[in-house]
Structures are given as C-alpha cells and as structure tokens.
Amino acid sequence: MKLPIYMDSHATTPCDPRVVEAMLPTFTQHFGNAASRNHSYGWEAEALVEKGREQIAALVNCSPKEIVFTSGATESDNLAIKGIAHMFADKGRHIITSVIEHKAVLDSCKRLEKEGFRVTWLPVGKDGLVKTSDVENAIEDDTILVTIMLANNEIGTLNPVGEIGHLCKAKGIFFHCDAVQGLAYEPVDVQEMGIDLLSISAHKMYGPKGIGALYVRRRNPRVRLDPIIDGGGHERGMRSGTLNVPGIVGLGKAAEIVLAERESDAARLRALRDHLRQRLTTELTDVTVNGSLEHRLPNNLNVSFAYVEGESMLMGIKDVAVSSGSACTSASLEPSYVLKALGVHDELAHSSIRFGLHRFTTREEVDYVADLMVRTVRRLREMSPLKEMADEGIDLKKVEWSKH
Amino acid sequence: MVYSDKILDHYNNPRNVGSLPKNDPNVGTGIVGAPECGDVMKLQVMVNEETGVIEDAKFKTFGCGSAIASSSLATEWLKGRTLEEAMRIKNTDIVNELSLPPIKIHCSVLAEDAIKAAINDYQKKREEIVHGNGKGAGKPVAAGPDLASKSS
C-alpha cells in the first residue's frame, strides 16, 4: 500500500492510465492545430477533436455539435451563466440558483447581481438538497435561467435535477446544471432530464486538468450564448482559442471509460464508502454524517466528529489526503459555507472531514484510514475540553463562551 | 499547512494534558475561546499558597495543531514560576518559541488569555476565602478578553 493515501477525489482525481496513453501521441506526433485546414497535421488534429466530442456526447446523450470545449468547469459555469444573462437580458433579468453551488456559479451570479440582474438564492434543508417546489415558487415573470448543481462537491448530495429540468422546460426557462462532481458516478441524459446547459470537467472524472466542456442545446430550444472570450471564432463562436487537442483526447477517453464502467465503479465505491461509514460510526461515538445518505454520490462521505477540530485531525492522519470544512484549513478562515447552509453548527463544521473515494481506492486503504481516524479522534478527544464538559453533563450550547 | 518541528513535537507529545480538581481552592481554571470559532482552551494552575509558585499546570484544548502546541508550551512554562512571572508571559514569546505562522498568531493570543484567566480565577478564589465566603468557583463560564481579530 502506497502512502499517503489519496481520498480527496472531489478536489481532483488521478488520471486513468488509459487516458494518459490515449493522450501521449498528441504531444509529439499528432500535434497539429485543429484549425489548420491546409495540411494533414491539422486534419488529424481535427479528427481527434471530433472523436473527443463524440465520446462526450455519448456520455450525456447529446449531439457532438452541442459540445463546446473550455478550459474547465469554472469557465463552463461562467460561460453558461453570463452567456445566457447577457444574451437574453432583454427577455428577463432574474436568475435562480442555490446557496450550495460551487463558487464558480455563486460568484458568476454575484457579478450579474452587480450588473443589475436579480438573483434568488435558494436555501437547502438539513439533507442538503434543493427542493423542486422551492424552484417553482421562486420563478418570476422575467426568470431567464435556473442553475442548480447535480452533485455537491463537499457533501456529495444529489439534487432532483431531472425534476427541475422538466419544470424549467414547462415554464420556458433555460436550465443550466453543473454536473462536474456527478458525471463519473451518476447517469446523465440531457434529453430526459431537460437540461439546456451542462458543465463538464475532465479532472474530476479521471481525465487531465485544464480541459472541460459545456453542453449547449441546439434545438428545443436553440440556446445562444454571448461569448466571454473573443478571438478566432472557434467552437461556433462561443469560445475562441486554439483547441487543447491533448486535453480533448483525454477528456474524450475519460468519458468513454466512464460510460463503460460507471455502473460497476459506482457499486464498488458505494460498498467501500458504506464500509468506511460503518466502521467510523460503530467504533466512535458522536459521529454525524452531513447531508442525505440516500441521495448522495457513492464515493462521498462527509462526517463531523464532535469535540475535535478538523485541522488537528488532519495533522493526526497525515498519511491520508482528505479535506476538512474547518476554517483553519481554508484561506478565508471561515468554516464551510455548504455545511453552514445545512444548518450544521459552526462547531460541527469545524469538526468535519470530507472523504472522497475514487476508482483506484482499495479496501485495504479504507481500513487503514478507518483505523487511523478512530485512533486520532480518540486521542484528540482525550485532550478536548468540550468532550470533558459534555461528559460532565454540561450543555455546551448554554455555556457563555468568550467569542473572539 | 507546514509546521515547525516544535509544533509537531507538542502536537504529537503534548505535555501536561489533563485536569486538576477545579473546586480545589489552590487551583485556578481559565477557559477561553468558543467552539464556533474553532478553538477552546482550558488551562489550569495549582498554586502553592505559601510561596505563590505554580506547582502544577494542565491543559485541554479543542483546536488546530498550533492551538494545542501553544497551550502545551504554556503549561510547560508555567510550572515553577511565580504568579507574577507567569503574568509576564507574552503571546509573542510563544510565537517565537514555536515559530508560529502569521495566520496562527491568534492561537498564541488565546494561550496568553488562558494563562491570565486561570491566574485571575485563582486570585478570585483566594479573595473569596479571605473574605470568608469562599466555596471555590467551578462554574463553566468561559472567561477572557475579547480578541479583536477573527480566529479560526
């Protein structure tokens, strides 16, 4: 077993070796510019790009013509949201999103707010799910866009995207879905789910970094976007810039593998994740899973270990790469906004750890992590004044703390 | 976060973890911080009433590695010092000794507050005894001056 053990797959996933192998010839042999029309280097590159487009289209059930390549999901989210808002500002100036979206969505919406658009920020329940009825109630006469993520990047909860898509279809409102975290594990069909725009990232599905895609519907209805990058008019004018052929080949291959292996991957990861959860919750007391277990990615586990602080846990499990919702581990010194949105007390947000299992996680690794986690939490609880007070029967919520 | 060897040493082998009997008239208890801010320190001193020397010190801390190391170091420094000497321990001494990164300075501030809160608690108990109504405080009220900066 190789240390440190990687369990931070919501941050990024390792490249599948088959993806790397597919990409290699594009660096030295097939290195042409896909926009070069006058020689075989260009034609070869273009053929590789078109193959990649087909592979991604097959994964989400759309036409290859509806795929726009970008530098990653942050760009895809920006292009979808700002592109719709700027193209259809005459039609309406209201957008609906949720408070637990990725920052690329939240900050794009915030910028539009500054430009005079109105944004409704939907709350989520304790289960971390957006309610379709909340979306419906938020719709106004001039709503032009609803943007809701498929799976949350911290707690892995799965939103009722199909329901929301159908609602938007019925109301004639564009629906954008950031599907980055879910695509490798959950089936996505843009036709069946009524999705007009879908953000895709390669490096969250065992592909390379620096490449992503945006699905943009071409009929029923045809979606037009105001571009955010101008230049040579690549990608039907929606995203100028020389195409990243190695990245596209990698993304395409990653999509092909996901389509073939998603089901078995998901089942295996679900069993491993449940094993990890079982061990942590039976061997330790006061452990809570954040967000719905039922509507959740099979590879995600986000847990709070009461009375111990996240960063001190990470120090204790330094052979394991995971993330914490604790403020101490973030640049902003604020605990996770996602956990706060769930109504998780700040104190438990500070005590949270996010485990992200991936295609190459083994049972041996899961057991190693569980052993280490249990030992570390026990040790830190021995030195926790909160644990001591709780054991003495003191209600921690009634203590007058000196807030600082 | 990359930490100094001294922080790692205190984190891995914390000195003086534990509790002293909080109702003992010779024990002073300071609890500072708040769970929602991500750190709470409990620091206790046992004082020889004749000499005014701190004979024992214990801590328990909920917080990051720097918070644990700061309070562990504080207990090490307190033992054998008089109350006056102990009151002169500054957070900057802790910062220097542990090479705390700038983002973790508040941990040292909290440790200084914990020292002062523990000593104040002891002195309050002594006063109550002198005035004849001492039962020894033991209420779980966290005390300590407000810190201006947001902590983690």
Segment A93-132, tens digit of pLDDT: 999 999 999 999 999 999 999 999 999 999 999 999 999 9
Q: How many Å lie between the alpha carbon of A131 and the closest alpha carbon of chain B?
A: 28
Say whether both A130 and A165 belong to one domain. yes
Residue A335, preceding peptide bond in cis (omega within 30° of 0): no
Q: Is residue A404 part of a domain?
A: no
Q: Is residue A398 part of a domain?
A: no
Strands A352-356 and A300-305 come out as: antiparallel
Residue A392 has pLDDT above 50, yes or no: yes
B37 is catalytic: yes
Query: What CATH number is associated with residue A279?
Result: 3.90.1150.10
Say whether both A228 and A288 belong to one domain. no
Say whether both A154 and A35 belong to one domain. yes
Say whether both A203 and A271 belong to one domain. no
Residue A404 has pLDDT above 80, yes or no: no
User: Please, which pLDDT band fits residue A401 given cuts at 50, 70 and 90?
Assistant: confident
Are residues B134 and B49 in contact, defined by beta-carbon separation less than 8 angstroms?
no
Beta bridge partners of A296: A157
Say whether both A86 and A234 belong to one domain. yes
- CA–CA gap between residue B20 and residue B43 (Å, rounded): 9
- CA–CA gap between residue B6 and residue B57 (Å, rounded): 20
Say whether both A33 and A139 belong to one domain. yes
Strands A352-356 and A323-324 come out as: antiparallel
Number of structural domains (chain A) is 2
Contact list, A400 vs chain B (CB under 8 Å):
141-142
pLDDT of residue B129: 85
Q: B40–A386: do the CB atoms touch at under 8 Å?
A: yes
pLDDT of residue A333: 62
Say whether both A342 and A250 belong to one domain. no
The H or E element containing residue A87 is helix A73-87
Q: Is residue A338 part of a domain?
A: yes
Say whether both A280 and A228 belong to one domain. no
pLDDT of residue A400: 85
**Which residue, of A228, A258, A288, is where some domain finishes?**
A258
Entry pTM = 0.91
- CA–CA gap between residue A353 and residue A323 (Å, rounded): 6
Give which of A123, A121, A127 is closest to A105, Cα–Cα: A121
Print the domain residue range for A367: 5-10+262-388
Are residues A331 and A383 in contact, defined by beta-carbon separation less than 8 angstroms?
no
Q: Is residue A237 part of a domain?
A: yes
Q: Which residues of chain B have pLDDT under 50?
A: 134, 136-140, 143-152
Query: What CATH number is associated with residue A76?
Result: 3.40.640.10
- What is the per-residue pLDDT across A43-54, written as a single tens digit (0 to 9) for each? 999 999 999 999
Q: Is residue A393 part of a domain?
A: no
Q: What's the distance, CA A157 to chain centroid? A: 10
Q: Among all residues of chain B, which has the CA nearest to that of A376?
A: B12
pLDDT of residue A262: 98
A328 is catalytic: yes
Say whether both A171 and A240 belong to one domain. yes
Q: Is residue A378 part of a domain?
A: yes
Average pLDDT score over residue span A140-146: 98
Say whether both A277 and A354 belong to one domain. yes
Beta bridge partners of A80: none
Are residues A335 and A346 in contact, defined by beta-carbon separation less than 8 angstroms?
yes
CA–CA–CA angle A227, A232, A233 (5° rounding): 45
**Which residue, of A223, A258, A293, is where some domain finishes?**
A258
How many angstroms separate the first and last alpha carbons of chain A?
43
More confident position, B50 or A398: B50
- Neighbouring residues of A90: CB distance < 8 A, sequence distance ≥ 6: none
Contact list, A286 vs chain B (CB under 8 Å):
none
CB burial string A294-314: b at 16+ within 10 A, e below: eebbbbbbbbbbbbbbbbbbb
Average pLDDT score over residue span A340-345: 92
Say whether both A212 and A65 belong to one domain. yes
Q: Given B41, B46, B107, B115, which residue is catalytic? A: B107
**Which residue, of A243, A258, A273, is where some domain finishes?**
A258
Q: What ipTM is given for this predicted complex?
A: 0.85
Find where tokens 């260009």 sit: A42
pLDDT of residue A328: 66
Q: Among all residues of chain A, which has the CA nearest to that of B140?
A: A399
Q: B38–A400: do the CB atoms touch at under 8 Å?
A: no
Q: Is residue A399 part of a domain?
A: no
Average pLDDT score over residue span A228-235: 92
Say whether both A31 and A173 belong to one domain. yes
Q: Is residue A281 part of a domain?
A: yes
